[in-house]
Structure 1
Amino acid sequence: MLELVLRMAFKNCLRHRLRALLTLAGLMVAILAFGLLRTVVAAWYSGADAASDKRLITRNATSLVFSLPIAYGERLRAIEGVSRVSWANWFGGIYIEEKNFFANFAVDPPSYLALYPEFLIADEQRSAFLRDRQGALVGRKLAARHGWKIGDTVTLRGTIFPGNWNFVIRGIYQGRDRNTDENQFFFHWHYLNERVRAVVPRRADNVGVFIVGLRDGGDAALVSERIDAQFRNSLAETLSETEKAFQLGFVAQTETIVLAIQLVSFVVILIIMAVMANTMAMAARERTAEYATLKALGFAPALVGWLVLAESLALCAMGGGLGILLTFPACRAIGEQLGNIFPVFDVATATLWQQTAAAALIGLVAAAVPAWRAMRIRVVDGLRAVA
């Protein structure tokens, strides 16, 4: 019986070919758009998802734009529960023109790389980067986007720290995990600090944030309290939070945009659901006589309902399947163009399941009313339509 229902459903799908093709195209575009929008949302949270539970970010309690004295580092190391301490400064340099934006940081390479084992670097490149005070370490995707190679000299125009800054690429790192950001640019904090001391001495020996490694990720809240208590009532009080909370703080600043994208993704599904429901209603009306004939031949009303439902699900399976398949090349193309905005722009497994569920939901909802009406049709009324 199941084989009969499926065979008849697929034949019915193609009976009105133009309508079927238009419906499939609409379904394909809707599921593709839904997948792309959900990928954008996932990309927005990628930094938070990649955060480690064994790292804290300690910054100035007043605002991120205010710095902290480098001398805080030694006091941080002495706090119970802390395993390692490093620091970083947001540099804000521009490569050639502003559209080439990418994250660039001045860091303490030995301690920083020890805290980020997800950055995979060849041993010889790591050694060269650590030795060269003017050296830079760049992500694989960033290097590919600009055609950089080991030994190339890159000039960044400073914004926060004015002037032209020359760096020599000594290493290119790869991400250990799929969601590791490979679009970052790192160089020596001491190189930055030396130039700042020579030009603006009062801005020297300060850092933007401290990165604090924990012995036990479960102690994050306790260690955060200890750190902030250590510097309470000082000239530069601190605010310590997990790396994930720190990243989510940036996402919260654009939360309205994220909510709007999520809303649009669901509106797309609602629109195609209405289109699909209209298509199934038209198909069911055209086959009223056929459904009545089936009932007259002794087929149960449930079979008639299953025919309508199977036809709807078959259309959604074909259209949705094409939309899901096209999501991969579409995301790859968009990711290449927006790599400076979304360092990680990959189709997540959760997105594929959401697309599949959306396609199935469209098929079920669109067929609900037509199937119910087909099941309730009277044989006499249906056969009268033939005459």
Structure 2
Amino acid sequence: MFIFRLLLKNAFRHRLRTILTMVGLVVAICAFGLLRTIVDAWYAGVEGTSSVRLVTRNATSLTFPLPLNYAERLKTVEGVTGVSWSNWFGGVYITERNFFPQFAVEAASYLALYPEYVLKDDEKKAFLLDRQGAIVGRKLANQYGWKIGDQIPIRGTIFPGTWNFTLRGIWDGIDAKTDESQLLFHWQYLAETVRKRQASSADYVGVYIVRINEPNNAPLISERIDTLFKNSLAETLTETEKAFQLGFVSMSEAILVAINAVSIVIVVIIMAVMANTMMMTARERIAEYATLKALGFSPEFVIKLLFGESLVIALLGGGLGMLATIPIANAFAKSVGTLFPVFRVSDTTMLYQFLASVIVGVVAATWPAWKMSRIDIVNGLRHVA
């Protein structure tokens, strides 16, 4: 306790300099945590995937559809226990700023494949019975203030016209990784409307979602599916849901690398600032350290004093930065809307922030501690004059 009080008193001996250094630490650690959270949010779709779901799409490109009659053939593949399908809708709610994911799905089979969408039984029944009904995630409903029974007009971009949906249910994610920023409606409603305009384009789907009996059999079952449709007019590419999501993440790989690099640079900069603070502190106390050595204290004691003081400043500043990260991240999540479906500061990010604070404190004190431990007593005492 005495040592801690001594370190705390030493740390705030030059109060203004210490406070300014701590402010820099707060900003740096908070920025580091926020950037790490942005990277985590980019991978949130990957983390929320299931190991028993595969995605089958057109081998040429995701923009090319697949025939509806593939569904029955997929059900015959050994190891497949469930099949559903979806279409990306890509509409706009009121203005272009209100963009969020919308999917036309085969409702009954789709919800069976996504147990992480927790929907009340009465709301699920109402959705299944209403061809123009829709369900949304809790986050999306809260963002726009939607309630059960509300009319939601979506202006189509891929499918022209204004599409009116009645909100029949709001699902909650089974955990924090579940996406709650989507709108789902009936694929049959989309197909019926498209058939009236262009019959030849109605019986096609964007992707098939396939449930398998054993995650370890994913490569084998994927191969069986792609072999089944080989040399057809629409060959398929089947991959795990995780691999499918990673394909989207890889499109932004350069951005993610840049964000990671910036987060590291921030820590390095504050490390340099902290090292400068500790070097100035050491120079001011040369006579004190020489006196301690003259009184019989070992060089190791001087090293402990400097490392201890540096760690006290780093951990206090880093701790405040960690505390500030959560409210700032929440405010950031609200400002970007549905850009990041899942945006939360993870335990891993908090651990990285703590480790970054410790590393800054240790590295910043290394050179001053080594210099002061080797100081000559006579020269150090002369420094008083």
* TM-score clears 0.5: yes
Partner of 1:184: 182
* Distance across 1 between alignment mates of 2:347 and 2:70: 42
Query: What is the aligned residue count?
Result: 385
Q: Deviations over 1:163-182 (max 9, x none)?
A: 11000000000000111000
* Distance across 2 between alignment mates of 1:345 and 1:373: 45
Give 2:145's aligned amino acid: G
* Distance across 1 between alignment mates of 2:357 and 2:218: 42
Q: Deviations over 1:84-119 (max 9, x none)?
A: 000000000100011111000000110000000000
Pick one of 76, 83, 90 that aligns with 1:92: 90
RMSD after superposition? 0.6
* Distance across 2 between alignment mates of 1:91 and 1:268: 40
Pick one of 162, 165, 168 that aligns with 2:166: 168
Q: Deviations over 1:203-237 (max 9, x none)?
A: 11100000000111111100000000000000000
* Distance across 2 between alignment mates of 1:70 and 1:177: 32
SS of 2:177's equivalent?
Answer: coil
Is 1:197 the counterpart of 2:195? The answer is yes
Pick one of 279, 297, 300 that aligns with 1:299: 297
Give 2:327's aligned amino acid: P
Partner of 2:69: 71
* Distance across 1 between alignment mates of 2:140 and 2:201: 30
* Distance across 2 between alignment mates of 1:76 and 1:339: 37
Matched-pair contact (CA < 8 Å) for 1:139–1:181: yes
Q: Cα offset for 1:281? A: 0.2
Is 1:145 the counterpart of 2:143? The answer is yes
Q: Cα offset for 1:202? A: 1.4
Pick one of 28, 36, 43 that aligns with 2:41: 43
Partner of 2:262: 264
Unpaired runs of at least 5, structure 2: none
Return structure 1 stretches of 4+ with deviation > 4 angstroms. Answer: none
Give 1:25's aligned amino acid: V
Equivalent residue runs for 1:1-387 within 5 Å: 3-387=1-385
Give 2:241's aligned amino acid: E
SS of 1:53's equivalent?
Answer: coil
* Distance across 2 between alignment mates of 1:337 and 1:244: 28
* Distance across 2 between alignment mates of 1:256 and 1:134: 41
Q: Cα offset for 1:201? A: 1.0
Matched-pair contact (CA < 8 Å) for 1:269–1:358: yes
Q: Deviations over 1:34-87 (max 9, x none)?
A: 000000000000000110000000000000000000100000000000000000
SS of 1:257's equivalent?
Answer: helix
Matched-pair contact (CA < 8 Å) for 1:79–1:226: yes
Q: Cα offset for 1:4? A: 3.8
Give 2:383's aligned amino acid: A
Q: Cα offset for 1:5? A: 3.1
Unpaired runs of at least 5, structure 1: none
* Distance across 2 between alignment mates of 1:29 and 1:64: 42
Matched-pair contact (CA < 8 Å) for 1:137–1:171: yes
Identical-residue share of aligned pairs (%): 58
* Distance across 2 between alignment mates of 1:99 and 1:260: 26
Matched-pair contact (CA < 8 Å) for 1:280–1:367: yes
Matched-pair contact (CA < 8 Å) for 1:183–1:339: no
Q: Cα offset for 1:7? A: 2.1
SS of 1:98's equivalent?
Answer: coil
Give 2:159's aligned amino acid: F
Q: Deviations over 1:311-362 (max 9, x none)?
A: 0000011000000000110111111112311010000010000000000000
SS of 1:159's equivalent?
Answer: coil
